[in-house]
A and B are shown apart, each in its own frame.
Chain A
Amino acid sequence: MDKNDTTTYSVQLYIYDLSRGMARNLSPIMLGKQLDGIWHSAIVVYGEEFYFGGVGISSCSPGGTMLGSPDTVVELGNTEVTEEIFMDYLSSLGENTYRGDKYRLFEHNCNTFTNELAQFLTGRKIPSYITDLPSEVLSTPFGQILRPILDSIHIAPPGGNIINGRHS
């Protein structure tokens, strides 16, 4: 290729199981289907971890939230996008689409954010088992019952600082 002189940055996806194994054990009983975990994900690039939660877009050092180390790390590839451009991009996202109050556990959650970031940075999406989780849960009767409650949950792992902290 004729772009050998641009630096690339590696992009990784950190996947955490919020249920700490509980989902794997209890999901067949509670939901009637096997869910291996309640997935929370974050993008790690430029040596920082970025994720979306109830407080908006946050960042921290990789593995630095209260969740600790990730269960799985997926290499998404490399990106040419520089940190500066990326932070511009994040700021714009944080003003609108990914403000804290836009967080929705089922439709617009951390994994939605990670998916969008992954596509922006590398053109690839995150593994589908993560993004399919909400619909998997909602397709069970238990999920339907719990839906009103779950809708109001905001997952926001503490330990990061908020980017573009414009609290609405």
Chain B
Amino acid sequence: MEDNGGEDPVNNNNNTTVSSEGSIIKVTVKTPKDKEEIAISEDASVTQFKEEISRRFKAKQDQLVLIFAGKILKDGDSLNQHGIKDGLTVHLVIKTAHKAGDGASSSTSCTSQVGSSSGSSSGPSSAAHSSSVGSTGGPVSAPPQTPNILTGFGDLSSLSSMGMGSANFMELQQQMQSQLMSNPEMLSQIMENPLVQNMMSNPDLMRQMIVANPQMQQLMERNPEISHMLNNPELMRQTMELARNPAMMQEMMRNQDRALSNLESIPGGYNALRRMYTDIQEPMFSAARDQFGNNPFSALGGNSDGGVQPSRTENREPLPNPWGPPSSTDPSEGGGGTGTTGSSTAGSTNPSVSNPLAVNSASLGNGMFSSPGMQSLMQQISENPQLMQNMLSAPYMRSMMQSLAQNPDMASQNPASSPSTGTNPAQQLMMQQMLQMFAGGNASSQTPEVQFQQQLEQLGAMGFINREANLQALIATGGDVNAAIERLLGSQPS
């Protein structure tokens, strides 16, 4: 396998790329940044190739690393040897002066963060992993942080007893997560841990952790009430108590249901609320209830074999709470009246008190159609297409897709998905509405009333005077007048 030896006097190691003996081939040299086509003799050596490349890319020859078919081209080789022919691509990496030990540097910055508890987003890698920590849910992100803190206290022995022998924090965290996913009881055990409870009673810490999550920050920008809520230590404390105590959580939920019912007394608020509920929340709520029951922990058993749930720990948070803060703020956004705004703010504070973690669910898109983020999404889509674009680039869109994946999974696992469970029809209704809104969102981005203007008129002309019912029927049937008529006839008392 000798390359061009001295047998060809013309083809010696000059700086010429043209040799009359060997034919010229065009080889594409590709760097991460760009690519160039280099003409070289097919009998050339790697050294010659590198000379040409160093000229073209303006780099020193010893900085060049050439890779072809997974092999590194060494100077003594020839292009022929590696099978480099005309039209093929060779990869080039230009070594920079500093050593790229990304793995090492991130682990050192991780371990250096061990001493100080999380929350400070100094440096991208810490922001990255605090965001991935934050994505597991507000106070409940405490558990993945636990090894961090324990390590800080030098309590490594308990770590290895938990099955984590790795020193790298990132791996620790991932192992933690995968363990959590496979063993739901572990989380409740962790919650029992007095250390965790201690940490959770520190509102500043919790606040820092929540705020460090970039998705949270995005949500805070959109809904200033949330930042107010976070800034109120009393609220935080209450929230964390709730998170520790599921029974108390249900109590609070009942409270906020009552608070929401106060909204009815506001002019216009009731209608908005009702429309919101019947159009969107009811199917989702029943879907939620059917899936998770009233016990937030029942989610774990059901989904553990279905693969991984995204943001798994959030499912422990009050999932069956569709009346999260965004839905309460929606009347204020959609209605626009100052009166509504005032009391809606009051109304939204209450749900926030019991449930800022629902806010987390909103921002991170819980594994459920009933997530408040989903609702606000729907609401805003129907009102403003530009907002739709923005909203959809938000993180919870991704989680919504994932939740979309999960729900049909559950439905397919339930062979007896009869209408009484409400899961399938509810989801189908959801899908339909979504599709409608997506399809109609580009063309006519208005409320269903305007969208179904024509159909409404038709129904009115036929004698169905109850506009409200007409609208609902149209929405349910996706604008199909005939089907809507059937619905109306079926439900109208004769």
| A interface residues (Cβ-Cβ under 8 A, vs B) | 2-3, 6, 8, 11, 18-22, 25-26, 48, 54-55, 58-61, 63-64, 66-68, 77-85, 87-93, 95-97, 119-123, 145-146, 148-149, 152-156, 158-167
Stretch at the interface among B127-135, B238-246, B328-336: B127-135
**5 closest pairs, A vs B, by CB?**
A165-B124, A123-B69, A68-B308, A92-B32, A64-B174
Complex Cα distance, B392 from A157, in Å, reads 16
Q: Are the CB atoms of A87 and B102 closer together than 8 Å? A: yes
Complex Cα distance, B312 from A10, in Å, reads 32
Q: Are the CB atoms of B65 and A85 closer together than 8 Å? A: yes
Hey, which chain B residues are within 8 Å of A154, CB to CB? 393, 398
A115 to chain B, nearest CB (A): 13
Kindly name the residue among A60, A82, A121 whose own CB sees the greatest number of chain B CB atoms within 10 A. Answer: A60
Of the candidates A78, A120, A166, A167, the one whose C-beta lies within 8 Å of that of B67 is A120
Hey, which chain B residues are within 8 Å of A68, CB to CB? 178, 181, 307-308
B153 to chain A, nearest CB (A): 24
- A66's nearest neighbour on chain B, judged by CB, is B310
Given A2-B1, A122-B69, the answer on whether A20 and B405 have CB atoms closer than 8 Å is: yes
A69 to chain B, nearest CB (A): 8
Q: Are the CB atoms of B127 and A158 closer together than 8 Å? A: no
Stretch at the interface among B15-23, B89-97, B219-227: B89-97
Hey, which chain A residues are within 8 Å of B406, CB to CB? 20
B463 within 8 A of A: no
Q: Are the CB atoms of B170 and A149 closer together than 8 Å? A: no
Hey, which chain A residues are within 8 Å of B181, CB to CB? 68
Hey, which chain A residues are within 8 Å of B162, CB to CB? none
Q: Are the CB atoms of A159 and B127 closer together than 8 Å? A: no
Q: Mark B423-457, 1 if CB is under 8 A from A, else 0.
A: 00000000000000011011000000000000000
A163 to chain B, nearest CB (A): 5
Kindly name the residue among A11, A64, A123 whose own CB sees the greatest number of chain B CB atoms within 10 A. Answer: A123
13 additional contacts (CB under 8 A) given A20-B307, A59-B103, A152-B397 = A20-B405, A21-B412, A78-B70, A81-B70, A89-B32, A91-B102, A92-B32, A92-B94, A120-B67, A120-B91, A149-B392, A158-B135, A165-B127
Complex Cα distance, B166 from A60, in Å, reads 14
B160 to chain A, nearest CB (A): 17
Q: Are the CB atoms of A18 and B402 closer together than 8 Å? A: yes
Hey, which chain A residues are within 8 Å of B475, CB to CB? none
Kindly name the residue among A66, A68, A80, A119 whose own CB sees the greatest number of chain B CB atoms within 10 A. Answer: A66
A93 to chain B, nearest CB (A): 4
- A167's nearest neighbour on chain B, judged by CB, is B124
Hey, which chain A residues are within 8 Å of B91, CB to CB? 89, 119-120
Hey, which chain A residues are within 8 Å of B409, CB to CB? 20-22
B173 to chain A, nearest CB (A): 8
Q: Are the CB atoms of A18 and B174 closer together than 8 Å? A: no
Q: Are the CB atoms of A61 and B32 closer together than 8 Å? A: no
19 pairs from A and B in contact (CB 8 Å cutoff): A18-B402, A18-B405, A20-B405, A21-B405, A22-B409, A25-B408, A64-B177, A66-B310, A68-B308, A80-B70, A85-B65, A90-B102, A92-B33, A121-B67, A123-B70, A148-B389, A153-B401, A158-B135, A160-B132
Q: Are the CB atoms of A18 and B438 closer together than 8 Å? A: no
Kindly name the residue among B100, B441, B442 whose own CB sees the greatest number of chain A CB atoms within 10 A. Answer: B100
B71 within 8 A of A: yes
B399 to chain A, nearest CB (A): 9
Interface hits, B381-418 → A, CB 8 Å: 388-389, 392-393, 395, 397-398, 401-402, 404-406, 408-409, 412
Q: Are the CB atoms of A67 and B71 closer together than 8 Å? A: no
Kindly name the residue among A2, A158, A159 whose own CB sees the greatest number of chain B CB atoms within 10 A. Answer: A158
B77 to chain A, nearest CB (A): 8
Of the candidates B128, B178, B307, B438, the one whose C-beta lies within 8 Å of that of A165 is B128
Q: Are the CB atoms of A22 and B405 closer together than 8 Å? A: yes
Hey, which chain A residues are within 8 Å of B103, CB to CB? 48, 59, 83, 87
Interface hits, B332-377 → A, CB 8 Å: none
Q: Are the CB atoms of B408 and A158 closer together than 8 Å? A: no
B55 within 8 A of A: no
Hey, which chain A residues are within 8 Å of B67, CB to CB? 79-81, 85, 120-121
Q: Mark B46-90, 1 if CB is under 8 A from A, else 0.
A: 000000000000000000010111111010000000000000010
Hey, which chain B residues are within 8 Å of A54, CB to CB? 398
Complex Cα distance, B404 from A63, in Å, reads 22
Complex Cα distance, B217 from A164, in Å, reads 22
B197 within 8 A of A: no
Q: Are the CB atoms of B93 and A67 closer together than 8 Å? A: no
Hey, which chain B residues are within 8 Å of A149, CB to CB? 388-389, 392, 438, 441
Q: Are the CB atoms of B438 and A146 closer together than 8 Å? A: yes
Q: Are the CB atoms of B311 and A66 closer together than 8 Å? A: yes
Hey, which chain B residues are within 8 Å of A97, CB to CB? 32-33
Q: Are the CB atoms of A19 and B392 closer together than 8 Å? A: no
Kindly name the residue among B93, B135, B171, B181 whose own CB sees the greatest number of chain A CB atoms within 10 A. Answer: B93
